[in-house]
C-alpha cells in the first residue's frame, strides 16, 4: 500500500473517531497537508519499500518533531516547534513512516491518566468515561482507536505499559540505553525511555527494531547490537523459565485480573515453559524510591523553562518576577508539586536522607532483578496494573495516583526491558499482562509475547 493512501486513511479515521481536542482529545496537533506532503515524498523516494514504508505513526508530544509542535502537554511550551528532530523520529521517517499527529499526555509525562494535560484529558476510546492511562495516554488511545498501528510514547515509571494495558494494545519499554533519548524532553533522565505502542506484538517489534541502537548524540545510549525482533515470532518457549514474582500478586489483587494472569501462565506451560515462583523483595519500596529520584531529576531538568530562550514568557517585577510569573503560570499543579518535592529532597541537609538513600535502595531493587535472572529465570510475567482503567476524575489524592505505577516502575528503576500486552477483558475493560526480561534481552521477551498473543487469539480482547 502506498504512503499517501495509508496516510489519508489514517487522517479519515482520526476524524471519524473524533481524535481532536473537542472530542476524545487524543491528538493535540495534526497537519493533514504536511503529512500528505511527507507521504507523497516517501512514495517518490522509496524505490524498494521497506516494512515501514508509508506507515502512519503518532508521536507523543514530548518527542521533538520538525513538522508539528512539541509542547509536552504544557502551557509553558504551548505551540513551541522544535528546530531539530528526535533520533527516534528521524529513524522512523528514514524507514518510510509518516508522522500524522502529536498525542496528548500528562504534562511533562508526570501522571498516570493523561488528566494532567494542560489541554484537557484524553478519553479512553474503549470507554470514554474512563482514562486511557498515562502519561502516554494519547499514543495508546491513537493505536486503540485504529488511527495508527504504531505510535511512540515515553516511560519514566510505566507511562507506556500502563496506558497500553488500559487501552488494550501492546506497549514496550526497552532496556535503558537501547533507544536514544536525544529529542525526548527530559523528565527524569536516569529513568526516561522512549517506548513503542503497537496494535500487535509484531507492530511493536517493527517499531522498536527501527528506532533501537547506538546514537552518538546520547551518552547513555548503548552500543549493544540490535536483535532482529520480528524473527522472535518463530521462537519457541520450550525450556524457557518464566518467573512469577509474588510481590506482583498480592492477596488484595483484583481476582479477575489474577484469573487472566493464571490463564496466561497455563498457555506458557502448555507451550513448554517452566513456571517458577520467585521474589523481588524490595518491590514494596519502589514507589517511594521512584517518587524521590524522579522529582529530584525533574526539578533540575525543568529549570530550563525560564522564559529566556523559548516557550512562554510572562512579565513580572524584574528578572525574578519574570521567572516566577512564567514558571508558576506555565506549569500545572502536578508539575509544580514534583518540582518542589524534587528541590526539597536535593536541598542542603536533606540530600542524604532522601536522594542518596533512594539511590541506594534503587541499587537493592536492581540487585533483586539481577539475582532472579542469574538464577536461571529468563523472564518474569505479572499483571501490568492492579486494576483496569479507572473513571476520569476518580483519583484526586496524588499518592493514590502514584500507586497505579506500582507494578511497572521497578523495571524503570532497574533499567530492564518490559512490555504489556492484552490478556483479556474485565467488564469490557482491557487487562494487560507484563513481561520483564534481563538487560538487552528484548528478543527473549518478544518470543514469549508472540507466543502468548498467538495462544490467546481472540481471548486477548474478550
Partner 1 sequence: MAVTVDDVRHIAALARLGLTDERAHTLVDELNTILRHMDVLSRVDTGNAPEVSGIGAAGAPLRPDSGEPTPLARARESFAPRMQDGFFLVPRLSTHEDGADAGAAS
Partner 2 sequence: MTTTAATSSVWADRYEMVIGLEVHVHLKTATKLFCRCSTDFGAAPNRNTCPVCLALPGALPVLNEHAVDLAIRAGIALGCSIQSTSVFARKNYFYPDLPKGYQISQFDQPLALRGSVRIGTRTDGSPIVVGVTRVHMEEDAGKSVHDRFAGFTAVDLNRAGVPLAEIVSEPDMRGSSEAVAYLQAVKQILEYAAVSDVNMEEGSLRVDANISARRLGATKLGTKTELKNLNSFSGVARALDAEFDRQCAILDAGGRVEQQTMLWDERANEVRPARSKEGSHDYRYFPEPDLPPLIVSLDRIDGVKQALPELPAARRERYRREFSGLTDYDIEVLTSAAALGEYFEHVARASGDGKTSANWIMGEVLAALKSTGRSIAHFTVRPADLGALLGLVRDGVVSHSAAKQIFALMTQTGDSPRQIAERESLLLITDDAALAGWIAAAFAAHPAEAARYVSGERRLQGVLVGHVMKLSKGRADPKRVNQMLLARTDA
Angular region, 55: left φ>0, alpha ψ -120 to 50, beta rest:
beta
User: Which burial class, exposed, middle or buried, applies to 277 when counting CB atoms under 10 A from its CB (0-12, 13-18, 19+)?
Assistant: exposed
- Kindly tell me which of 268 and 323 has the beta carbon lying closer to partner 2: 323
Residue 296 touches which member of partner 1, partner 2, none, C-beta under 5-8 Å by kind: partner 2
- Kindly tell me which of 340 and 391 has the beta carbon lying closer to partner 1: 340
Residues 67-92 as b/e (b if ≥16 CB within 10 A, e otherwise) read bbbbbbbbbbbbebebeebbbbbbbb
- Number of neighbours of residue 45 by Cβ within 10 angstroms: 12
- Kindly tell me which of 126 and 221 has the beta carbon lying closer to partner 2: 221
- Kindly tell me which of 280 and 293 has the beta carbon lying closer to partner 2: 293
Least gap, CB of 284 to partner 1 (angstroms): 8
User: Which burial class, exposed, middle or buried, applies to 143 when counting CB atoms under 10 A from its CB (0-12, 13-18, 19+)?
Assistant: buried
Least gap, CB of 307 to partner 1 (angstroms): 6
Residue 222 touches which member of partner 1, partner 2, none, C-beta under 5-8 Å by kind: partner 1
Q: Which residues are within 8 A (CB) of 192 and not within 5 positions of it... i.e. 6 or more apart?
A: 109, 154, 155, 156, 181, 184, 186
Which residues does the annotation mark as catalytic?
60, 135, 159
Residue 304 touches which member of partner 1, partner 2, none, C-beta under 5-8 Å by kind: partner 2
Residue 63 touches which member of partner 2, partner 1, none, C-beta under 5-8 Å by kind: partner 2
Binding residues vs partner 2 (CB under 8 A)? 62-64, 70, 72, 77, 80, 82-84, 86, 181-186, 188-190, 216-220, 296-297, 299-300, 302-304, 306, 308-310, 319, 323, 343, 346-348, 351, 355
> For helices 201-211 and 87-94, what crossing angle results, to 10°?
110
Least gap, CB of 45 to partner 1 (angstroms): 19
Residue 181 touches which member of partner 2, partner 1, none, C-beta under 5-8 Å by kind: partner 2
Closest by CA to 128, choosing from 395, 402, 428, 399, is: 428
- Kindly tell me which of 2 and 300 has the beta carbon lying closer to partner 2: 300
Q: How far is CA 301 from CA 186, 309, 339, in A?
A: 6, 15, 9
Least gap, CB of 358 to partner 2 (angstroms): 11
Least gap, CB of 227 to partner 2 (angstroms): 23
Q: Which residues are within 8 A (CB) of 314 and not within 5 positions of it... i.e. 6 or more apart?
A: 307, 322, 325, 326, 329, 330
**Grid coordinates representing 17?**
473517531
Amino acid at each position: 500500500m502506498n504512503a499517501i493512501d495509508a496516510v489519508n486513511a489514517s487522517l479519515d479515521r482520526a476524524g471519524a473517531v473524533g481524535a481532536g481536542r473537542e472530542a476524545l482529545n487524543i491528538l493535540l496537533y495534526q497537519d493533514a497537508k504536511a503529512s500528505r506532503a511527507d507521504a507523497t515524498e516517501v512514495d517518490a523516494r522509496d524505490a524498494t519499500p521497506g516494512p515501514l514504508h508509508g506507515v502512519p505513526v503518532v508521536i507523543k508530544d514530548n518527542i521533538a518533531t520538525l513538522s508539528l509542535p512539541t509542547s509536552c502537554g504544557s502551557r509553558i511550551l504551548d505551540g513551541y516547534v522544535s528546530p531539530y528532530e528526535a533520533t527516534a523520529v528521524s529513524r522512523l521517517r528514514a524507514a518510510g513512516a509518516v508522522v500524522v499527529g502529536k498525542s496528548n499526555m500528562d504534562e511533562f509525562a508526570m501522571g498516570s491518566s493523561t488528566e494532567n494535560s494542560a489541554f484537557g484529558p484524553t478519553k479512553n476510546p474503549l470507554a470514554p468515561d474512563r482514562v486511557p492511562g498515562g502519561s502516554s495516554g494519547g499514543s495508546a488511545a491513537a493505536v486503540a482507536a485504529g488511527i495508527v498501528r504504531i505510535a511512540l510514547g515515553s516511560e519514566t515509571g510505566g507511562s507506556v505499559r500502563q496506558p497500553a494495558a488500559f487501552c488494550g494494545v501492546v506497549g514496550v519499554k526497552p532496556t535503558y540505553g537501547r533507544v536514544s533519548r536525544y529529542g525526548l524532553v527530559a523528565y527524569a533522565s536516569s529513568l526516561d525511555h522512549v517506548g513503542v505502542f503497537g496494535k500487535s506484538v509484531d507492530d511493536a517489534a517493527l517499531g522498536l527494531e527501527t528506532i533501537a541502537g547506538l546514537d552518538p548524540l546520547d551518552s547513555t545510549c548503548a552500543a549493544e547490537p540490535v536483535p532482529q525482533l520480528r524473527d522472535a515470532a518463530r521462537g519457541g518457549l520450550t525450556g524457557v523459565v518464566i518467573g512469577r514474582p509474588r510481590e506482583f500478586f498480592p492477596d488484595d489483587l483484583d481476582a479477575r485480573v489474577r484469573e487472566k494472569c493464571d490463564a496466561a501462565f497455563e498457555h506458557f506451560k502448555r507451550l513448554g515453559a517452566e513456571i517458577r515462583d520467585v521474589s523481588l523483595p524490595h518491590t514494596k519500596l519502589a514507589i517511594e524510591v521512584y517518587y524521590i529520584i524522579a522529582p529530584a531529576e525533574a526539578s533540575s531538568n525543568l529549570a530550563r523553562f525560564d522564559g529566556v530562550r523559548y516557550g512562554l514568557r510572562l512579565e513580572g517585577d524584574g528578572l525574578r518576577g519574570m521567572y516566577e510569573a512564567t514558571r508558576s503560570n506555565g506549569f500545572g499543579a502536578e508539575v509544580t508539586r514534583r518540582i518542589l518535592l524534587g528541590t526539597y529532597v536535593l536541598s542542603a541537609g536533606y540530600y542524604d536522607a532522601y536522594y542518596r538513600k533512594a539511590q541506594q535502595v534503587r541499587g537493592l531493587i536492581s540487585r533483586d532483578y539481577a539475582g532472579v535472572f542469574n538464577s536461571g529465570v529468563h523472564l518474569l510475567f505479572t499483571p501490568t496494573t492492579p486494576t483496569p482503567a479507572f473513571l476520569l476524575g476518580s483519583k484526586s489524592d496524588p499518592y493514590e495516583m502514584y500507586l497505579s505505577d506500582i507494578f511497572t516502575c521497578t523495571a524503570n528503576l532497574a533499567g530492564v526491558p518490559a512490555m504489556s500486552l492484552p490478556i483479556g477483558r474485565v467488564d469490557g475493560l482491557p487487562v494487560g499482562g507484563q513481561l520483564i526480561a534481563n538487560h538487552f534481552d528484548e528478543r527473549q521477551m518478544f518470543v514469549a509475547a508472540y507466543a502468548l498473543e498467538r495462544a490467546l487469539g481472540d481471548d486477548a480482547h474478550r
